[in-house]
Amino acid sequence: DTAVSQTPKYLVTQMGNDKSIKCEQNLGHDTMYWYKQDSKKFLKIMFSYNNKELIINETVPNRFSPKSPDKAHLNLHINSLELGDSAVYFCASSLQLAGTSTDTQYFGPGTRLTVL
Amino acid sequence: KNEVEQSPQNLTAQEGEFITINCSYSVGISALHWLQQHPGGGIVSLFMLSSGKKKHGRLIATINIQEKHSSLHITASHPRDSAVYICAAFIINTDKLIFGTGTRLQVFP
């Protein structure tokens, strides 16, 4: 049973395209996250989504938008893709919002996005 | 200078050795997160702690809020512990999460 799943695993696309990455968790968690890991393996949090409240990292361009159709899903939409968007994107979830609690986060396997 | 610093950057050890990875931060935090990233890329959350000490199997994490320092210890290290270990600090009264640059650990048999 996969706790946090992401699709697709790999995504190769042209600059300027719009793409989405899907994330689903079957843990009954209230909070989901998107992280970006760049080519230097540096991790950065992009969004936290908790009970319909979105917390955005202010450095994330507004071309990135998370969409949550329900509590178990948090999809990441990216418009007008740029070369610099190439990275591995990780989805995660936890029971309560990280930082306000010490609940464990569960990570998805990652989606490697390559923009050509 | 990053607000969250890890040391060492790289660490090699023989199987069975006791390992310590350090994480120092320069700002007030509400919690600190230790993560493990396997060579295949998968990420596992190890500990989230705001005070004291937590233990899970051979892994122990400690935090000293006054000294702004956390350590991750691995007892009786094993080659399967080879991974990158990352700490991340939740900045108090903000939504900010700042990651360290990671410590690459290799344990040889």
Number of A/B CB contacts below 8 angstroms equals: 53
Give the burial string for B49-61 (b: 16+ CB within 10 Å, else e): beeeebeeeebbb
Q: With an 8 Å Cβ cutoff, is B67 touching chain A?
A: no
Would the CA dihedral through B23, B27, B28, B29 be positive or negative? negative
Would the CA dihedral through A13, A19, A25, A30 be positive or negative? positive
Q: With an 8 Å Cβ cutoff, is A52 touching chain B?
A: no
- The three-state secondary structure class of A28 is coil
* Distance between CA atoms of residues B43 and A89, nearest Å: 11
- Interchain contact, B41 vs A99, CB within 8 Å: no
* Distance between CA atoms of residues A37 and B101, nearest Å: 11
- The band of A85, judged by pLDDT with boundaries at 50, 70 and 90, is very high
- Predicted pLDDT of residue A51: 75
The H or E element that residue B72 is part of is: strand B69-74
- Interchain contact, A106 vs B41, CB within 8 Å: no
Minimum distance, in Å, between the CA of residue B102 and any CA atom of chain A: 8
In 3D space, the residue among B4, B13, B19 whose CA is nearest the CA of residue B68 turns out to be B4
- The band of A99, judged by pLDDT with boundaries at 50, 70 and 90, is confident
* Nearest CB neighbour to A104, from listed B42, B45, B99: B45
| Mean pLDDT taken over chain A | 91
- Interchain contact, B99 vs A43, CB within 8 Å: yes
- The three-state secondary structure class of A75 is strand
Q: With an 8 Å Cβ cutoff, is B51 touching chain A?
A: no
- The band of A56, judged by pLDDT with boundaries at 50, 70 and 90, is confident
